Structure formats: C-alpha cells, structure tokens
C-alpha cells in the first residue's frame, strides 16, 4: 500500500496535474465551464416545463431553451477557439479566432442553398454539435497558432494598425479557405463524419462498463485533487447525445433508452449523493464521530454536502491522497452505477427524459423530479444504505487514527 500511495502522490498525480494544464485540455475544460450559463438557462426551461405539464395554462417558453441550450454546438466552437488562444497566450486573437470558428462551424454543418435561402437542420446547432464545436475550435486555433509562430512582418516598418489588420486577415482567410476546401470542394460533410467516428465511443458510453467509467474516472481524479471538469470534453458529447435522443423518443411517444446522461449521473444525485464519490454518507458518519476534529469538519461540511458540493469535505477531511478514504470513494463510483443501471433496465425506475443539468438539488427530491417516478425514493434508500456500509469500516479505521493523533497532540 505504501508503494502504491507513493506512486500515486509522487508520479501519477503530478503527471495528471501536468496533463490538465496542457493548453488543449485546459481550453476544452474552460469552454465547458463557460457554457454552463447557457446549459443552465435551458435547464431552467425544462424545469419550468415540469410544472407546466401539471399547469397547462402556463405559457410555452420552449424557444428560450432552443436558443440557449439549443445553440451549444455553435457556442462551443467559439468558446474553444477563444480559450485556446488564451491558453496559448495569443491574446490579440481571442475574439477573432472565436468568430472565425463560428464561420467555419457554419460550413461544417453542411448547409444547403436554394433560391437565396440557406437550409440546415436546426439540431446541428445544438447538443449534437458539441463534438463538432470542439473539433472546429481546435482546428481554427492551431491554424492561428501556426501563423503566429511564423513571425510574419516581425521586423516590418509598416504602421502598427496596418500590421494588426494583416495579422487578422491572413489567418481568417486561411481558416475559412481551408473550411471551403473541405466542405465545398472535397464535399465532406464534417458533421456526419464526426458523428460516425464518435458513434462507437458514444455507444460504449451507453453500456454498463461505460457508465461505470463515467462515474469512476471523476472520482479517481477528485481523490487526487484534480478537477472533475477536466473530463467534461469527453463526457458532455455522450451526455448530450443521450439526453437529446431520450427527449426525441418521448416526443415521438416512445420510451427513453439512454441511461448514461448528465441527468442520471448528476442531477438525480443518486450516484453523486453528496458529490462525486457519494460522500454524503461519510459526512453523516462524521457528525457522530468520537474524533473532535472529524466531528467539527462534519458539521461544517454537512450543508454543502446536502447540495452535492463536496469540495470542503474532500479537502478538509481530507480524502485527497488519503488511502483509507480514497478506496471507498472509488468503490462507490463502481457499485452505484451498477445499482442505478439495474433499477432502470429492470423498469423499476424511469430513465430521465428531461434536460435539467443542475447537480446541486438535494436528493431524493432531485431524484423524483428528474425521473418523474416516486420509486426513486426506494433507489435512494438502497444506495444510502450501500454507501453507509461501504464508508463505515474505512471511516472507523481512519477515526481511530485521528483520535490517537489528537491524544498525542493533547499530551
């Protein structure tokens, strides 16, 4: 165990920290963070529609969702290029690259032109286009980055404003020219090609092993002090495709089929009860701890824990790089997806079919709300029992260690 922990703290964790600082990783993570207000805006409308289903006289606000959540692909194209320029320290290109990325994205969604009209499927702007937005943003960013490295007009005697125009015009022409070549000369439907390439990953993501990995990887990362947002670039396309398909199926009168969505993993707050790694059960045990420090930490953290915010607990207990508490966190991230999968596949619990991406609603209220199924309370109680059983032996060993340390300090 000592050798393993030494490898984790001295080799693996620093390597992961360096990985998360790479410009393209940080840019994608930053883009997802900046997209959150648009995702939440759409989520609020879907949340509002829950009440509207019982109160049909309320006005239809669907257009708000269509032009916030429904534009995520286009927004992502701008955000990724913008964040890439920032991470690469090309600050003069943060806006220009983002706007150029929007122009190229409009090409990549393969519009058709008829009698002066541009015809394109609206769904290509939304969640289904997030992956295309990421790829477009990275593509434009590297073209701008390559141009900047050339150092063109570095020793020029031209006026600064003229040099500035040239430095904007050339990468814009190259980027849009490259998009034109790909789409209109080579006749490549980039959107469809990307979906075809991504479909095996998306299909695996909707399997039980994929579901477990979706929960386990963030839990491992958080237990080493690494932000879970690092992995949103991979998770979000799978989540968004999953929930979009469920919404479409329900609208067509068919049952939803995709379990692996943000709503199942986070909004329902079953797998992430108390936060990543299901730490609410640990927090409850700490409230009755014989260790003064653990008990005090438990009382401080219980409020955020009920709202599935566990950073204070993870870093305050600490769980980070603590072998006695890391392991149960990982175990929970394996057992809880299996239990939820069994409930939903056995038709003991409804699969979410509404897009509400707010992970800070306390369970079991959030569980019932997102599944529209009172049986979510049964699933909640089963999982809470499993989590308490999992945390208890590890917590008692750690508590004993902390009590001994407190006694020594007092002496």
Give pLDDT tens digits for 331-348. Answer: 999 999 999 999 999 999
pLDDT for 254: 93
Are 332 and 270 a contacting pair, CB within 8 Å? no
pLDDT surpasses 60 at 26: yes
User: Average of pLDDT values for 297-325?
Assistant: 88
Measured CA to CA, the distance from residue 103 to residue 128 in angstroms comes to 18
Are 229 and 342 a contacting pair, CB within 8 Å? no
Measured CA to CA, the distance from residue 387 to residue 381 in angstroms comes to 10
The per-residue pLDDT of the chain, averaged, comes to 87
pLDDT surpasses 80 at 50: no
Measured CA to CA, the distance from residue 182 to residue 164 in angstroms comes to 28
Measured CA to CA, the distance from residue 210 to residue 220 in angstroms comes to 15
User: Average of pLDDT values for 246-262?
Assistant: 92
Measured CA to CA, the distance from residue 130 to residue 78 in angstroms comes to 11
User: Average of pLDDT values for 375-385?
Assistant: 96
How would residue 354 be classed by pLDDT, with cut points 50, 70 and 90?
Answer: confident
Are 97 and 84 a contacting pair, CB within 8 Å? yes
User: Average of pLDDT values for 153-172?
Assistant: 76
pLDDT for 4: 62
Characterize the bridge pairing of strands 117-119 and 112-114.
antiparallel
pLDDT surpasses 60 at 1: no
Measured CA to CA, the distance from residue 410 to residue 198 in angstroms comes to 59
Measured CA to CA, the distance from residue 406 to residue 411 in angstroms comes to 9
HSE (side-chain half, CA atoms, 13 Å) at 279: 32
pLDDT surpasses 80 at 220: yes
User: Average of pLDDT values for 91-114?
Assistant: 92
Measured CA to CA, the distance from residue 94 to residue 85 in angstroms comes to 5
User: Average of pLDDT values for 20-31?
Assistant: 81
pLDDT surpasses 60 at 42: yes
User: Omega into 298 within 30° of 0, i.e. cis?
Assistant: no
Measured CA to CA, the distance from residue 234 to residue 282 in angstroms comes to 29
pLDDT for 299: 93
Percent above pLDDT 90 for the chain: 45
User: Omega into 364 within 30° of 0, i.e. cis?
Assistant: yes
Determine which of 20-29, 67-76, 189-198, 258-267 has the lowest per-residue pLDDT on average. Answer: 20-29
Measured CA to CA, the distance from residue 343 to residue 353 in angstroms comes to 16
pLDDT surpasses 70 at 41: yes
Determine which of 128-137, 167-176, 223-232 has the lowest per-residue pLDDT on average. Answer: 223-232
Determine which of 30-34, 77-81, 203-207 has the lowest per-residue pLDDT on average. Answer: 30-34
Measured CA to CA, the distance from residue 90 to residue 105 in angstroms comes to 21
pLDDT for 150: 83
Q: How far is CA 13 from CA 10, 217, 274, in A?
A: 7, 13, 24
CB burial of 207-219 (b: ≥16 within 10 Å; e: otherwise) equals eeebbbbbbbbbb
pLDDT for 157: 64
DSSP state of 185: I
How would residue 155 be classed by pLDDT, with cut points 50, 70 and 90?
Answer: low
User: Average of pLDDT values for 59-68?
Assistant: 84
pLDDT surpasses 70 at 9: no
Best-predicted range by mean pLDDT (35-49, 249-263, 352-366): 249-263
Measured CA to CA, the distance from residue 395 to residue 388 in angstroms comes to 10
pLDDT for 207: 94
pLDDT surpasses 70 at 156: no
């Amino acid at each position: 165990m000592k050798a393993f922990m030494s490898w984790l703290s001295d080799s693996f964790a620093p390597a992961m920290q360096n990985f998360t600082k790479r410009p393209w990783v940080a840019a994608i993570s930053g883009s997802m963070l900046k997209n959150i207000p648009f995702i939440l805006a759409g989520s609020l409308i879907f949340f509002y529609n829950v009440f509207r289903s019982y109160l049909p006289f309320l006005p239809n606000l669907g257009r708000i969702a269509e032009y916030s959540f429904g534009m995520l692909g286009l927004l992502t194209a701008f955000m990724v290029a913008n964040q890439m320029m920032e991470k690469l320290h090309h600050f003069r290109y943060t806006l220009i690259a983002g706007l150029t990325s929007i122009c190229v994205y409009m090409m990549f969604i393969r519009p058709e032109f008829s009698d002066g009209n541009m015809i394109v499927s609206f769904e290509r702007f939304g969640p289904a286009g997030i992956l295309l937005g990421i790829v477009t943003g990275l593509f434009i960013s590297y073209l701008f980055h390559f141009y900047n490295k050339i150092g063109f007009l570095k020793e020029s005697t031209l006026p600064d404003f003229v040099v500035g125009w040239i430095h904007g015009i050339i990468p814009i022409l190259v980027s849009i020219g490259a998009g034109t070549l790909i789409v209109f000369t080579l006749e490549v439907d980039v959107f469809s090609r990307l979906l075809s390439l991504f479909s095996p990953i998306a299909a695996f993501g909707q399997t039980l092993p994929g579901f477990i990995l979706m929960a386990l990887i963030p839990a491992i990362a958080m237990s080493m002090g690494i932000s879970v947002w690092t992995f949103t670039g991979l998770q979000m396309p799978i989540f968004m495709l999953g929930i979009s398909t469920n919404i479409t199926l329900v609208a067509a009168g068919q049952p939803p089929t995709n379990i692996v969505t943000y709503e199942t993993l986070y909004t329902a707050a079953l797998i992430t009860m108390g936060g990543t790694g299901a730490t609410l059960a640990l927090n409850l045990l700490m409230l009755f701890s014989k260790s003064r420090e653990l008990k005090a930490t438990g009382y401080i953290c219980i409020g955020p824990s009920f709202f599935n915010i566990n950073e204070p607990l993870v870093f305050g207990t600490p769980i980070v790089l603590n072998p006695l508490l890391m392991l149960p966190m990982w175990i929970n991230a394996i057992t809880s997806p299996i239990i939820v999968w069994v409930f939903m596949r056995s038709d003991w619990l409804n699969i979410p079919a509404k897009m509400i991406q707010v992970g800070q609603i306390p369970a079991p209220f959030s569980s019932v709300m997102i599944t529209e199924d009172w049986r979510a309370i049964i699933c909640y109680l089963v999982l809470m029992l499993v989590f308490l059983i999992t945390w208890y032996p590890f917590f008692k060993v750690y508590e004993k260690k902390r009590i001994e340390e407190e006694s020594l300090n007092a002496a």
